Amino acid sequence: MKYAGVIVDISHEKLDKTFQYAIPDELAESVDIGTRVNIPFGSTRRTGYVVEITDTPEIEPDRIKPLAGVAARSVPIDERMIKLAYWMKTNYGSTVIRALQTVIPVKDSVKNAVKRTVSLAVTKDEAVLLLQECFAKRRSAQARVLDALIKDGESDYSLLSCKLNISPSAFKTLEQKGIINIGSTTVYRNSLHVSEDKVAVRFLNPEQRCISEDIIFGYDSGDMTPCLIKGVTGSGKTEIYMEIIEHIIKKGREAIVLIPEIALTYQTVMRFYRRFGDIVSVINSRLSNGEKYDRFCMAREGKIKIMIGPRSALFTPFKNIGLIVMDEEHESAYQSENIPRYHARETAIELARMTGAKVVMGSATPSLEAFYRAKKGTYKLYRLDRRAGEGRLPAVDIVDLREELKKGNRSMFSGRLTELMRDRLSKGEQIMLFLNRRGYRGFVNCRDCGEVIECPHCAVSLTLHNNRMLKCHYCGYEQEAVKVCPKCGSKHIGTFKAGTQMVEEELHRYFPDAAVLRMDADTTKGKESHGDILEKFASKKADILVGTQMIVKGHDFPDVTLVGVLLADGSLYSSDYRAAENTFELLTQAAGRAGRGKNPGNVVIQTYNPDNYSIVHASRQDYDSFYEEEIVYRELMDYPPVSHMMSVRLSSPDENEAERLSALVAGAVRVSESFENTRVIGPADAPIHKINDIFHKMIYYKNKSRDDLARIKDYIEAYIKNNPRLFGGCLVQFDFR
Ligand code: ADP
Ligand code: ZN
Ligand code: ZN
């Protein structure tokens, strides 16, 4: 008799262990490690995952219940992914089932996996006319669909939508207009003929060739040291990735390409399609479960060999992964905000270790962690210091806003910025204006007493919208704008600093003829995705794009020759030890947007801290000097990457309880002799100490050894488990840096 160790599909600490079931003969064939099974559990029935199979019963065999069957429509987990899930549980804190759920992005196979197809409902000639109309009206998504259908004929719906980055609504519009038919067929047809327009392979320049050959040589000789390419924006990193991918595919293996969702644009994806054709697929958060399932199946069956996507693309069930590329390595989106709070970099390296794959990271502004390891030799470091194609690095001016005020300029645009904007508008060149979200939050305060209007449920200020409503960005609370100060009665109350909306209004005042597009969390919540807005800007429908962090990342607009950072200081004041790193990264990335085409670019950085080292080094795009200065601070303070850091967030609806319990947790580790080398800081209020009427406390642990911190996590988890009555009403979350 064989026995299966099963993890029950419920996330609860008490159930965070395997339960043993007998495998009846009739299931012996179909049950394997990773199979999702039905099990009798207490008086009910549950599902769970088989994580081990053994001959040895844990208790008397006749007391072990048999499995009830294999769960219907279930997707099995690869054994390797189970190992990865356990690794995530150990390293980030999680129940096993939650870790398992993370590595299987789709749980159920989709009912009657019908393939949908798209075809023209009009003649080709009519389609060509319609295509021209779409171009004229700049309906570019519809134009792409028409263009593809004219060239390729009937196509697979999900492939087409993913290749061309088309939303379901664009298809629906075309269908409603009677231009296309969306049909369904149960036969799978891979009907995209991309190979026709595959472009000739570009020749790499000597610097690029040197790097790609060295990495390929390392790969071929079995040296799987992770690599970091530190290359300025536009230096040709993506071309290098593609060169290495091509080699790995030729060797019969597969590649995962991680790109932060925000940089996963149509242009980027298309570059991979043009080079590799149908073996490329993309996943992103907008896909339905059915579409994700389809793509994962194709990967498992070997129909897809390159998967591009955000961090969850790591869990693509390839049989033979040879390479994991991680573009924009520094991006904070690579860390999951859900439990387990895994970081894609560490997880990719672990996955690569398990599968014998190579990891190649790239960034213009590597995270301090990655660069520190590269300098120590844990990663192999490569550099690209100049742009590959056209375009030179821009000229940067730092403007001291205190001086502007002295000159009597009270607008958001300094003299230098205004002058350059006039110049670019007159030449028909494009401008990007960037606002550090944390700086200009549009909060309302009293000029007389300083009172700031805050959310009654969260410890954050409310933000003014349309001059009418005050809103909370954390919990959604709304109230009418106030006319007088609730504290002192003064009428001098209003927005102190402006949001993107205010910038837009000021632009209309100072530059009435300029066409302005705005992109922030508000404008992208509606119908238009940020992709749509960027596309409008790319097709030159606007002269100026105003936005928050979102516009800074990885987009390539050759006609942008001026980037203005309206206030650089915002992120300097956050309570995070990475404040300077974040500021440097944002400014460098923002500056990298200018002058990517033929015309040289200018960048204007407006600030109240013109001497701050992160601003000065960013203005020179001088990563190395920034790194040298920043690492001294990290060493002094024992911050990562010099030490490892774990934070514990304890949340409770009762403020006193949050205080008491977090003190207990901190104290438990402080007195334990086995953790002598650990610095314990706190407990203290979380940066935002109250969200939605829940109170949050933080405790930080610093240690040179990551494993020691993982042991502390286990210790705290056990401590909490052993005191269920105390900790019953609170939530404890771990986070590793
Ligand atoms: P990165 O990924 O470092 O930002 P890309 O690979 O996107 O850089 O390259 C930036 C631009 O330079 C792209 O338009 C690309 O087509 C072009 N480019 C890259 N390598 C070369 C090369 N060897 N010769 C000419 N142009 C190149
Ligand atoms: Zn007041
Ligand atoms: Zn709130």
User: Which pair of structure tokens corresponds to residue 660?
Assistant: 């008491």
**Which residues neighbour ligand 3 (ion) by CB within 5 Å?**
455, 457-458, 472, 474-475, 477
- Residue 495 is predicted with a pLDDT of 67
* Residue 691: strand pairing partners: 694
Highest mean pLDDT out of 257-261, 370-374, 617-621: 370-374
What mean pLDDT do residues 2-13 have?
85
Residue 735 pLDDT grade (very low, low, confident, very high; cuts 50, 70, 90): confident
What mean pLDDT do residues 492-514 have?
80
pLDDT surpasses 50 at 686: yes
pLDDT surpasses 60 at 197: no
Ligand 1 atom nearest to 239, measured from its CA:
6
Query: Is 204 a pocket residue for ligand 1 (Cβ < 6 Å)?
Result: yes
371 contacts 627 by C-beta, under 8 angstroms = yes
Ligand 3 centre from 649 Cα, in Å?
Answer: 19
Taking the C-alpha atoms of residue 387 and residue 596, their distance in angstroms, rounded to an integer, is 9
Q: Is 338 helix (H, G, I), strand (E, B) or coil?
A: coil
- Residue 320 is predicted with a pLDDT of 94
What mean pLDDT do residues 642-666 have?
91
Q: Give the range among 157-161, 500-504, 693-697 with minimum mean pLDDT.
A: 157-161
Q: Is 107 helix (H, G, I), strand (E, B) or coil?
A: coil
pLDDT surpasses 90 at 61: no
Q: Give the range among 460-464, 486-490, 620-624 with minimum mean pLDDT.
A: 460-464
pLDDT surpasses 90 at 353: yes
Query: Is 234 a pocket residue for ligand 1 (Cβ < 6 Å)?
Result: yes
Strand 180-185 relative to strand 115-120: parallel, antiparallel, unpaired?
A: antiparallel
pLDDT surpasses 60 at 373: yes
The rounded Cα 495 to chain-centroid distance in angstroms is 31
Neighbours of 125 (CB within 10 A): 9
pLDDT surpasses 90 at 125: no
pLDDT surpasses 50 at 195: no
- Residue 201 is predicted with a pLDDT of 59
Ligand 2 centre from 494 Cα, in Å?
Answer: 11
Query: Is 578 a pocket residue for ligand 1 (Cβ < 6 Å)?
Result: no
- Residue 193 is predicted with a pLDDT of 38
Ligand 1 atom nearest to 208, measured from its CA:
23
Instruction: Name the residue with higher pLDDT: 566 or 442.
Output: 566
3 contacts 43 by C-beta, under 8 angstroms = no
Ligand nearest to the CA of residue 444, numbered in listed order = 2
- Residue 194 is predicted with a pLDDT of 43
Query: Is 212 a pocket residue for ligand 1 (Cβ < 6 Å)?
Result: no
Q: Give the pLDDT confidence of 282-314 residue by residue, as tens digits.
A: 888 777 777 788 888 888 888 899 999 999 999
Q: Give the pLDDT confidence of 700-722 residue by residue, as tens digits.
A: 898 988 888 989 998 998 888 88
Taking the C-alpha atoms of residue 725 and residue 737, their distance in angstroms, rounded to an integer, is 30
Instruction: Name the residue with higher pLDDT: 375 or 185.
Output: 375
627 contacts 584 by C-beta, under 8 angstroms = no
Ligand 1 centre from 226 Cα, in Å?
Answer: 22
Residue 40 pLDDT grade (very low, low, confident, very high; cuts 50, 70, 90): very high
pLDDT surpasses 90 at 558: no
| Percent of the chain scoring above 70 in pLDDT | 89
Taking the C-alpha atoms of residue 332 and residue 571, their distance in angstroms, rounded to an integer, is 14
Taking the C-alpha atoms of residue 466 and residue 445, their distance in angstroms, rounded to an integer, is 16
Ligand 1 atom nearest to 232, measured from its CA:
3
Phi, psi torsion values for 357, nearest 5 degrees: -105, 165
Ligand 2 centre from 472 Cα, in Å?
Answer: 20
pLDDT surpasses 60 at 496: no
Taking the C-alpha atoms of residue 687 and residue 704, their distance in angstroms, rounded to an integer, is 25
Instruction: Name the residue with higher pLDDT: 498 or 504.
Output: 504
Ligand 3 centre from 694 Cα, in Å?
Answer: 10
What mean pLDDT do residues 506-519 have?
91
The sign one gets for the Cα dihedral 306, 310, 316, 319 is positive
Mean residue pLDDT of the chain comes to 84
Instruction: Name the residue with higher pLDDT: 293 or 202.
Output: 293
DSSP string, 369-428: HHHHHHHHTSSEEEEE-S-SSS--PPEEEEEEHHHHHHTT--SSS-HHHHHHHHHHHHHT
Please classify residue 86 by burial: count the beta carbons closer than 10 Å to its beta carbon, then call 0-12 exposed, 13-18 middle and 19+ buried: middle
Residue 465 pLDDT grade (very low, low, confident, very high; cuts 50, 70, 90): confident
Neighbours of 439 (CB within 10 A): 20
Please classify residue 661 by burial: count the beta carbons closer than 10 Å to its beta carbon, then call 0-12 exposed, 13-18 middle and 19+ buried: buried
Q: Is 69 helix (H, G, I), strand (E, B) or coil?
A: strand
- Residue 631 is predicted with a pLDDT of 95
Q: Name the residue of 238, 239, 598 whose CB sits within 8 Å of the most ligand 1 atoms, as the mutation to test its pocket.
A: 239
pLDDT surpasses 80 at 342: yes
What mean pLDDT do residues 654-659 have?
92
Ligand 1 atom nearest to 231, measured from its CA:
3
Ligand 2 centre from 495 Cα, in Å?
Answer: 13
- Residue 390 is predicted with a pLDDT of 67
Closest residue CA from atom 10 of ligand 1? 234
Q: Give the pLDDT confidence of 77-117 residue by residue, as tens digits.
A: 888 899 999 999 988 888 888 898 898 866 665 544 456 77
pLDDT surpasses 60 at 188: no
Ligand 1 atom nearest to 327, measured from its CA:
2
Please report the beta strands in 124-247, taking only residues with DSSP state E, as ranges in sequence order.
Answer: 155-156, 180-185, 227-231
Q: Give the pLDDT confidence of 587-640 residue by residue, as tens digits.
A: 888 887 877 667 778 999 998 788 889 999 998 889 999 999 999 988 988 888
User: Which pair of structure tokens corresponds to residue 725?
Assistant: 């009555």
Ligand 1 centre from 208 Cα, in Å?
Answer: 10
Ligand nearest to the CA of residue 272, numbered in listed order = 1
Ligand 1 atom nearest to 203, measured from its CA:
23
Query: Is 239 a pocket residue for ligand 1 (Cβ < 6 Å)?
Result: yes
HSE-CB at 364 with a 13 A cutoff on CA atoms is: 26
Q: Name the residue of 238, 308, 392, 552 whose CB sits within 8 Å of the most ligand 1 atoms, as the mutation to test its pocket.
A: 238
Q: Give the range among 197-206, 553-562, 616-625 with minimum mean pLDDT.
A: 197-206
Ligand 2 centre from 488 Cα, in Å?
Answer: 4
